[in-house]
Amino acid sequence: MATKNAYVKHIKGVTFLGKSDSNHWITMDGPEEFGGSNAGTRPKELLLIALGGCTGSDVATILQKKKIKLDGFEMNISADVQETHPQVYTKIHIEYVFYGKDIPKEAVERAIKLSQDIYCSVTAMLQKAVEISHSYNIIET
């Protein structure tokens, strides 16, 4: 079994720097009213970004292997947050948006399904704690 490591360093207030095995630093911070400098992404926001990066990588790779040409690809991710502490995500929705000409919807649906059901490790971890749904939109360019 492989082991992954991360290092997180306190800077001041609620400002932290972190890096993991890829050795790239990321700044995490909170709003000024909670002792932060408002200088970085909130840790909980990073979960949504990680989810998009993980499933997006899968979908892009699968469509590329199927020789589907895209002019663009993006995801809009929204999450409902519990009002009481701990303020966890209760629902997450991923909208995949594809731009291009004659993109076959069957290929898009298959790529998303493979990512959500098999390949995306971030989805696999998060869906144990939160409901994750998805939709897609193909925009002809």
pLDDT at 111: 98
Contact 140, 132 (CB under 8 A): no
Per residue of the chain (141 residues), what is the pLDDT tens digit?
Answer: 899 999 999 999 999 999 999 999 999 999 999 999 999 999 999 999 999 999 999 999 999 999 999 999 999 999 999 999 999 999 999 999 999 999 999 999 999 999 999 999 999 999 999 999 999 999 999
Domain that holds residue 34: 1-41
pLDDT at 14: 95
Same domain, 85 and 134: yes
Structural domains counted in the chain:
2
pLDDT at 33: 93
pLDDT at 37: 93
pLDDT at 123: 98
Fill in the DSSP letter of residue 41. Answer: B
Helix ranges restricted to H, the chain: 43-65, 105-114, 121-126
How many Å apart are CA 125 and CA 94, to the nearest integer? 16
Q: What is the CATH number of the domain that holds 106?
A: 3.30.300.20
